[in-house]
Each structure stands twice: as structure tokens, then as C-alpha cells.
Structure 1
Amino acid sequence: MPREVTVIGAGLAGCEAAWQLALRGIPVHLIEMRPQKYPPAFHTDGFAELVCSNSLRSNALNNAVGILKEELRILNSLILKTADSCAVPAGSALAVDRHLFSETITKTLKNHPAIRVSYEEVIEIPDGPCIIATGPLTSDAFAQTINEFLEVEPLHFYDAAAPIVEKDSIDFNKAYYKSRYDKGEASYINCPMDQNEFDRFYEALISAECVKMHDFELKVFEGCMPIEEMAKRGKKTMLFGPLKPVGLEKDMNHHPVAVVQLRQDNVAASLYNIVGFQTHLTWPEQRRVFSLIPGLENLKITRYGVMHRNTFICSPRVLQETYQSKKRPDLFFAGQLTGVEGYVESCASGLIAGINMARMICGKDPIVFGNTCIMGSQAHYITHCTPSHFQPMNANFGVVNLQEKCKKAQRKEKICEQALKRIRQIQEEINE
């Protein structure tokens, strides 16, 4: 009989990993901390509780997360199968009855003959094959244990991430490349503002709607000021911070009042983050306010700015693309703890970890999905981006390697075709 695998955490990633293992006849010990101990924001003891929203976002195949869902369906995802069966009307999005969704997944896993369930707080990493999927609100005691195990890079305990935009959406009739005082390579994209443009941006920023913070998050951000809070401290405050114009003039006759800088975020140079723009603004307000920046009128945001409690490891330093620990091959990590962001993305990481753990148990090589499909591109991104700039990332087209040259208007369609073709190849490899 194969060795039992311990899966710690019964969120979306842990449940999907446990399911993929059980499908392949691998015994699973699924451990969940609730109801023995409730992390903040959780309200039930059900598996796969959807804390923030009941929406799993778009189903459309011209959207990265829509393609990701289709990839998951092809690979027999429990989470997607259950979500489809518990769907409620939501237009082109997939939204679910969250209570029925959690209840169905809980019953499915607890009734599976290959899965046994325990309710306890884990504070030590167990010996033997293990998948850690304890999520963004990992208990303090277990977080300390993970820290001690990782050694090279401590856990991060919150996101303070600026928005990331697609380079193709930037208007270079207004924006230009330059480094401050022309030092080094001109690697930053600069968006200058005159006085009227700055005034309009400032007024919109200080009056924009913000996300309400949980009480347990408020202490975390004392040393990390959101751009809108900086603005509220005085109209000139940003001009001595992230909007400082000195040394960024386009030429001798150019004297901007403020300059917003964007820094390259991926190797392919298709994504750029807005420097210093960590924010509490709601997502619609980010689109509205930041589109007032000259050159960003038509910005496409692939990851919105966030500031919230979110425990995650520095995956580029400590994980392989298979979600295996570099330090210990029989230890996998999955879910938001790895730096994937979002319900569906967490599920996908759990699916890959579960499949690859099962292969390892059976003496087969783990599969590197690669960055030609959506779920593979997120695994590639979190393990290959620059460690010092690593922040969690949603599924998006900007990190996918499209191998066929095509017109810009065809890009999403071609990525969809390529991604689903790759997933079907993986499906065949899994079934061999």
C-alpha cells in the first residue's frame, strides 16, 4: 500500500490536493485547525470556506482565470466540479452558493475511503510526505515553524503590493523611458504630470473609496503607508516621495510637476508595477483614479494594489516549479502560502501539488506544467521572479509564454488554444 500523505489545511488548495491524491489511490491524512482554533475572518468549520466573496470570477475563455477554470475541469478538479454544481446566476462569472459549496466538498472528502480527517492545530512539520496548504492566515505557531524550516528567507506576513499593468496598455506618446538623473540603464517608464493633471489626480485620490480593514490587519501596516494616506498628509507629500519629479525630465525644456514611475515586473517585460503605489483603494477606484495618470488612460491592471494580512513564503528562493520544497523533495507547499493569489489560482496550485505528490509516491517524475498554460505560468512565475520584488500574483496573460507569433487582437484566443492543448498533453501523460 502507498505511503500516507499528510495534507495540512482544508482550504481550496488543501482540499484539491487531497482529492487528486485520493483519486490515485494514495491514502491521505487531511488535517484542519477549525473548529479547534479559528483564524480571523473564518466563520464555519466547513472545508473550502469562501471567506471574501462567493465569486470565482469570469468563465469567459478570453480571460486568464476563465481559461484556468477550463484547465481545471479537464484535469478533474473537485473544486471546479463542485463550483459548477453549486453555481448561482452571475452573468459570465462563476459564483456559487458558498454554504452548499463548502458543505458538498466537506462531505465528499470526509466520505472518501482513502481520506481520514483530523481537527487540530499543527505546530510541527511532520516527517514523511506532506503538503502544507495552511493559507494566508496560517497560525502564528506554525508560521514560526515554517520560518525555522525555510532558514534562507523568512515568511512574509502581509501584502503591500502596488498595481501591475500590461505594458501594451501604456500610451508612449505621453510616457517615456528614463532613469533618475540618467544613472544606469533607462529601465523605468515615466508618466509626467503638469499642474492641472496633478491637481485632478490628487483630488480623485484623496476622495476615493477604500477597502475596510479587518481589526487584526490594522497594526500590520504602521510602517507601510498607502499612497492615498500619503496624499492626505498634504498635497506636496507625494512630490517628495513616489511622485518626485527631480531628475526625470524628458529633456531640458521639460519641467513636470510630478512623475509616476513604472518598474519592469517580469523577464518578458510585458508587466510593469506602479512604483510606490501600494493602496487600500477598492479595485474599481484603482481603475478610475490611476487612469487619470497621463499615459495610463487605458491601463489594463493584471494585479490590483493590495494591503492585507497574507502569510506567504518567498517561493523563488525555496520552491521548485512543481511546488516541491528545494530543501526537502517530499514536502510540497500549495495555495496562497506560495504566493498565488485568488480562489481559482489556489485550487490550481493544490491540483499540481497533489498530482506531483502522487507521482513521487509512485516512483514517477513530477510534471513541470510550464508557462505555456495558465496554471503552469503561475507556478513558473512564483518560482522564477526576482526574490526581492516577489509579491503574490493572480492568473493573467502577462506571464504566459505564447509560442506562436500573432497579431495583438488574436493573442488571447491563441493563448487559450495553446493552454488547453498543453493541459490535454498533461492529461495524457498523467493517464499513462
Structure 2
Amino acid sequence: MNTLAQLKAGQLAGITRLDLSCGLTEFPREIFELADSLEILNLSGNALSKLPDDLHRLPHLRVLFCSDNRFTELPACLGQCAQLSMIGFKANQISHVPAAALPPRLRWLILTDNRIRELPSQLGERPLLQKLMLAGNQLAHLPQSLANCHNLELLRIASNRFTRLPDWLLALPSLTWLAYAGNPVETAVPMTDDEATVEIPWAELELAEILGEGASGVIRKALWKPAGKPVAVKLYKGTITSDGSPLHEMQACIAAGLHPNLIRIEGRVVGHPDGQAALVMDLIDPSYRNLAALPSLASCTRDIYPPHARFSLAVALRMARGIASVAAHLHRHGITHGDLYGHNILWNEAGDCLLGDFGAASFHATADTLETRALQRIEVRAFGVLLGELLERVEEPAGDALVALQKSCCQPDVLARPGFEEIEAILRSIQHP
């Protein structure tokens, strides 16, 4: 984190990224002195409500973060920034998004947790748009023009007011990761009854160290005293994340049930002193690790793998079978994962794998309707992307059948993609010594 004193003293000349979070109420004009180099500007966590009209004087600005401020509308000056492609205004008080605020190279727009009811039709005139995050607003529809956004891959519209998903949305050729939980269109679907879920009193848990933390909550190691076994406890936060509501995530985890490629849920915590929601889960063997890291600003929707990551074909095939199997299981239960990615998969050297993080999961009807089929085939594209990433890193030729399957999963005609049960059958038929 940089300081305002450093900026005013001219100590930051030549930097490409500036991070300032120090209670700012006005945009520091000294930032313009960095115009020759500045590409990423992060002003999140301040008290800003406007930006200067001449922001375009930062000609190299590609990324702007202004989350957790006091903006009531998306600043129109953004549209004049020729190189600006990523905009993040999460957790403000934005109710108006003017068309003038949309720069021509817009690729990634984050407006999570605001008060937006309408989006301008010009949003669909941004052909590079790839990632659109709108969870936690008051939207009941999307601009029809978004049907033209053939590069749109990730869409988050959870916790809004949608009563239906438009047909054009379900036919977008590149849409891969979709989250729509917490809308009337989803809550109209009968949910799995979780009355059978074991209730575990808070007093029965002895918490230990933190194992991990994400947007939706904190995972801690614990001892479940009556059972005498070590477990993991996920304590959910109550705030809206980029994917949606953490409480919807907990509901999806419970509804997913049992599968060898899912982390087993032992029960739901009751009696937390602060009323916090929590789940008790199996403790994962330390031999498991994340398959990939989160996408970067540059990769946008693509995971980052270690440069040395390589798999034998047998291990890659085992992982592909496991993920296809668990995805088919979820779809039979009326759940789309919404975030089927390498960074949400734990794996070990033998190719055993576990799919986690249900933060973007949504419920859909289990009847075989065109809408259900389309929602499931959108997730099939996510599997195709994952399979492609594995095949890029196998140590031996993958064979025509796997390559053909990967292409079939990613074809632009959504309903022409195979379902996960067909994918499972194809993967089973591929023999490997």
C-alpha cells in the first residue's frame, strides 16, 4: 500500500500501480504526475464520491478499483479513458450507470453490492466484455443488447430481482460461469429439504488454527469433541460477495449431498454465540492441494497454473472423470456449481480430486426442459475449459477422443454440447494403460 505522503513528495514517479486507502474524500491531483506510467489505480476503501472529469489524462490507465467508497453513480469520465478495460466499484451506493461511463475497451466490470435497477443498452456495444459482476443489486432484467456480447464468459447476477432468465442469455456462445442464486427465478424451484442435516452444537467444537479464508467465510481446524475427530469448520460471513450470498452457498453445500468427489458435510452448527452460520466438514488430507490459482487481471477468466505443472495422461483422465461425475451428480440434484474451475479443485498426485467452493451455486428445475438443459450445458463449457487446461499440460499425446470431447464441450451451440452423463460415458470408454 502506498501513502499519500509518498505521492505528494514525488517519491512514486514511474510506478505502474498505485494503491491508496487513507480516508480520501477527494481525488489527489498529484496522481496526474504519474500519467506517463500509471496503469493500475486502486482507490478502494476511501470516502470518494466523484472522480475528476479529466481522468483521461492518465492515458495508460487499464485498471481502476474504487470499491468501498461513496459513489452514487458510475462516473461518466470513465468512458473517456481509451485504455481502461477493468472497472471495479463494488460496495458503493450506485443507483445510476450512465452510458457515457462505459469505456470502449471494457472487458471486466464489477458493480457488485450496489443499488442498480437499470443498465444502459450501450453495455451490449462493448464487444470485448468478458466478465460482468452484478450480484447484490436491484436488477429485474438485463439489456437485450448483451446478446451481442459473444465474448462474455462470466456473469454474476445473484441476489437481484430476476423472475426469469432470458432465452438469449442461455444461448450466449461463450457463457461459461453463471451465478443467479437468490433471485425469484431460482427461489421458485423446490429446494432440497435439509431437515435431515445433523445439527452440531457450537459447544461441541474446539476451534484451532485457520486453514483458509475466502470471500464467503473462514475455514478453521477444529476438534468435534463427542466424535473425538478432527474436522474443518467453515464460518460464513453475512455480506454479499462477488458470487452472491454466503448463506446460499451453505444451502447448496447441504443440498449437494454425498459424492466421492465432494468434501463431506458432517453437519450444520447451531448455537453460535453471535448467531453466525457455519458448517462442519471433513478435514482434507494434507496431500491435497489446489489445482490452480485464481485468474489474474491479465488472464481475466482463466486460471493460473504453476509454470512447471505437468500431469500424466492417467492422472489427467482420472481427474476429468471425477469432475464429470460430481458435476453430473449436482445436475441430477438440480444444482449448477457456477464456478467449475481449477482453483476450486483439490487434487493429489494420484489424481484423486474434490470439487469445492459453492459460492456461485444456483438451483434449477430437475425436469428436462430446454432451460434446464441450457443451464447445464453452460457448465459443460466450464468443464471443457478445464479439460483443455489439463490436456495442455499432459506429458504424452492425449488421443483423438479426448481432444474431440474437449472441442464438443466448448462448441458455441449451447444445446449441441453433451450432457455430463454422456461425458462420463465417453471418459469411461477411453482406455489408458
- TM-score above 0.5, yes or no: no
Higher relative contact order (CA 8 A, sep 6+): 1
Give me the TM-score of the superposition, normalised by structure 2: 0.26
TM-score in terms of structure 1 length: 0.26
